[in-house]
Chain A
Amino acid sequence: MRDRFDQQLERLHVELIRMGALCEEAISAAAEALLKDQRALAETAMEKERELDQAEREVENLCLKLLLRQQPVARDLRNISAALKMISDLERIGDQAADIAELTAHVRLPPDSCVSHIPDMARAVISMVTDSVDSFVKRDLDLARQVCAADDEVDALFDQVKAELIALIAADAAYGGQGLDLLMVAKYLERIGDHATNVAEWVEYALTGVHPSNN
């Protein structure tokens, strides 16, 4: 009985790693589609998003089954409840990535970009997602805390991008539509950063039993 419980916990861990990997792939594909102008990758991102939705439902089922049938306590309970919270953040990351991918169909980075910070933002956010998943996989508390710290950096970048877009539109009104789309992209990236932070916070909760927001 106990053995089966452990097996299911292990499966939960594997499923979460898989979801994390899917997230990384979705956001990388979306960013590449945008930055390198590769349309085919946009489709990849959307496909990953659908897989993520499916995975979220499966993991949710697994978590509920574990909670109801095994009635876990202490650390196991914490892990499972953290997993339940994490999957919704991971799924949201997938959604945002798909949203960015959708926008790439009609948005192009202006040549000689005056919005040079969008690629920076994308890189920062991708590394945040990777680190948050890594912190979960390796049960690395320090890494989780680093992710939370990196979010401020992304927020600062978002402000810079906003200023750059204002300047872009002010200089040439023809960039109005593009500028707004790019703002959306930046906003999605910023949201992904927030979700990655959430994931890292839940990792911290699962490891220490204290959610950072309670400190």
Chain B
Amino acid sequence: MKRHIFRAILAVALAVEAASLVLIVWVLHDFFEERVTEELAQSAAYIARGIEIHGGAYLTGGLPEIKRITWIDSNGAVLFDNWEDSAGMGDHADRTEVRDALLLGRRTAVRRSDTLGQKTAYYALRLSDGTVLRLAEDQDSVWMMVLQALRPVFLMVALALCLALWLAGRVAQRLVAPINAIDPEDPGGETAYEELAPLVGKLRDQNRRIRRQMADLVRQREEFNTITEHMQEGLLVIDRDTRLLSCNKAALELLGAEETPLGESVLALDREAGFRRCVEEALAGRAWETLLDRDGVCRQVFASPAERDGAPSGAVLVILDVTERERREALRREFTANVSHELKTPLTTILGTAEILENGMVREADIPHFAGNIRREAQRLIDMVDDIIQLSRLDEGGFAGSWEAVDLYSQAARVLEQLAPAAERRQVTMTLEGGPAPVWGVPQIVEEIVYNLCDNAVAYNRQGGAVAVTVENGPEGAVLSVRDTGVGIPPEERERVFERFYRADKSHSGGGTGLGLSIVKHGAAYLGARVALESEPGKGSAFTVTFPLARS
């Protein structure tokens, strides 16, 4: 804009200067032409007097040859010419100035000379004898004078030009300054030019709108971030070229990345075949899911294509940590397999024994033995089904039974009494130490816990071993501890012994349902008690159950 204004001002200045120059030249030219004619007239008068006095000889008497002097007879014949040969010159009566001088006495004229072929100023004067004296001077000399006179003018013009340049620059600057002074961020209310007012107003409106929209955007982004950052699920958004557009903290954690490589390829986060396939399929417009099982963490990835105008423009990946789910699933499968196996074993024995009896292959005397087998296995089945029912009740939390104060010590004493025959068979000595310790809980569950722990301690003991049961009041509540001298549990199996049907001693399948410790664990959880296990393989194990403080 500044340049435009500058150019416009400069153009105007130049045009004015050019016009003035033309005018000056024209005026000067006219002025000098007039002077030349005047001079011619003076010279002519002077020479005319000479001729009047001295006759034609005056002309040949060494007059200066600066001007052309022609003497023409009244009939038009050239009597004398100081530049040309008068004999060769034609009739001059038809020349404007001569003709007019013959009629009027004197005449000036500016015209192209027929003889010299140049633009020439003439002055013709009729002498008293009727002849005409004509003086001529060509125009070149006029122009020479004009040029000479113009020299200072040119200097002036040059100076004016410089001044115009400087002024144009200054004026342009001054004109533009208020426009430049407008702050596009904050245009303010006033402006130096009223023509700019609508523009400034518009600018202000737009600024306000942009600020509002920006605030909205920031708020939306914050909302989005707050939502995604607090999601348990990993969320990744990628564009068509697999570049990462957005991702939350959970996604980075699930993929094991430390920094957010926004703008880089998502494959830099994970390049496993399954993940790659997911990304490729989603970008090809197909939803896909896969399971990534690595480093003990199991992740499920759902990839959905994101479409814009019908063409895939990216993809959204959701990542879930399904380690726990998969583990539970595996446990459930194992449990189902175990339960079928455990239920089937006694049934097979019952079926086999019954078949033998049916076929009459058994002597009368042996029948009680076989019937005893059937009864024992059936009893085992019933025990197992009871245990399973007990467990599922604990699982569902719908255990029927009222909460009341239970004395752990007397409970333990009763259990030891019940187990005395079994202990005697295995020659296991049982001792009970400590004193009364009240526990707030469901009596059946407390009994189940104590019974199962002591039963296991006896069943998995060595021949002639010992079981020491201690009941005491600890600072955190009543503590029951059952210590045996059995086979012990290797460290890697300590977690698993509480699983259903899990047996530390794989060869030991007789007796017990394999659900005892599971019932202990679930029962303790139901009552809010803690179960701890210490064990030394080959020497024995100690289970400690810490009940919560009894309510006063």
Given A7-B241, A10-B243, A17:B268 Cβ within 8 A: yes
Q: When the two chains form their complex, are residues A138 and B272 in contact, meaning their CB atoms are under 8 A apart? A: no
Interface string of A1-41 (1 = CB under 8 A from B): 00000010011011001101100110000000000000000
Most buried by B among A17, A18, A133: A17
Q: When the two chains form their complex, are residues B272 and A14 in contact, meaning their CB atoms are under 8 A apart? A: no
Q: When the two chains form their complex, are residues B241 and A133 in contact, meaning their CB atoms are under 8 A apart? A: no
Interface string of B255-272 (1 = CB under 8 A from A): 000000000110110011
Residues of chain B from 258 to 293 with CB closer than 8 A to chain A in the complex? 264-265, 267-268, 271-273, 276
Q: Does A137 contact B (CB under 8 A)?
A: yes
What residues of chain B have their CB less than 8 Å away from a CB belonging to chain A? 241-243, 264-265, 267-268, 271-273, 276
What residues of chain A have their CB less than 8 Å away from a CB belonging to chain B? 7, 10-11, 13-14, 17-18, 20-21, 24-25, 133, 137-138
A-B contacts besides A13-B265, A18-B276, A133-B271, 15 pairs, CB < 8 Å: A7-B241, A10-B241, A10-B243, A10-B265, A13-B268, A14-B241, A14-B265, A14-B267, A17-B265, A17-B271, A18-B267, A20-B271, A21-B267, A21-B273, A138-B268
How far is the CB of A62 from the nearest CB of chain B, in Å? 13
- Pick from A14, A21, A25: contact of B242, CB below 8 A: A14
Q: When the two chains form their complex, are residues A17 and B241 in contact, meaning their CB atoms are under 8 A apart? A: no
- Pick from A24, A25, A137: contact of B268, CB below 8 A: A137
Complexed CA–CA distance, A20 and B267 (Å) = 11
Given A10-B265, A13-B265, A14-B267, A21:B272 Cβ within 8 A: yes
Most buried by A among B243, B264, B272: B264
Complexed CA–CA distance, A21 and B242 (Å) = 16
Complexed CA–CA distance, A24 and B270 (Å) = 12
Complexed CA–CA distance, A65 and B272 (Å) = 28
| Chain A residues within an 8 Å CB radius of B241 | 7, 10-11, 14
| Chain B residues within an 8 Å CB radius of A17 | 265, 267-268, 271
Q: When the two chains form their complex, are residues A21 and B268 in contact, meaning their CB atoms are under 8 A apart? A: no
Q: When the two chains form their complex, are residues B271 and A137 in contact, meaning their CB atoms are under 8 A apart? A: yes
Complexed CA–CA distance, A11 and B265 (Å) = 9
Closest to B266 in A: A14
How far is the CB of B502 from the nearest CB of chain A, in Å? 26
Complexed CA–CA distance, A20 and B271 (Å) = 8
Given A14-B241, A14-B242, A21:B265 Cβ within 8 A: no
Complexed CA–CA distance, A61 and B267 (Å) = 21
Most buried by A among B241, B243, B271, B276: B271
- Pick from B243, B264, B271: contact of A21, CB below 8 A: B271
Query: What 6 A-B pairs come out closest when comparing CB atoms?
Result: A21-B271, A14-B265, A17-B267, A137-B268, A17-B271, A25-B273
| Chain B residues within an 8 Å CB radius of A11 | 241
| Chain A residues within an 8 Å CB radius of B273 | 21, 25
Complexed CA–CA distance, A178 and B267 (Å) = 40
Closest to A48 in B: B273
Question: Can you name 5 A-B residue pairings with CB atoms under 8 Å?
Answer: A10-B243, A14-B267, A17-B271, A24-B271, A25-B273
Closest to B259 in A: A138
| Chain A residues within an 8 Å CB radius of B271 | 17-18, 20-21, 24, 133, 137
Complexed CA–CA distance, A13 and B263 (Å) = 12
Complexed CA–CA distance, A25 and B265 (Å) = 20
| Chain A residues within an 8 Å CB radius of B268 | 13, 17, 137-138
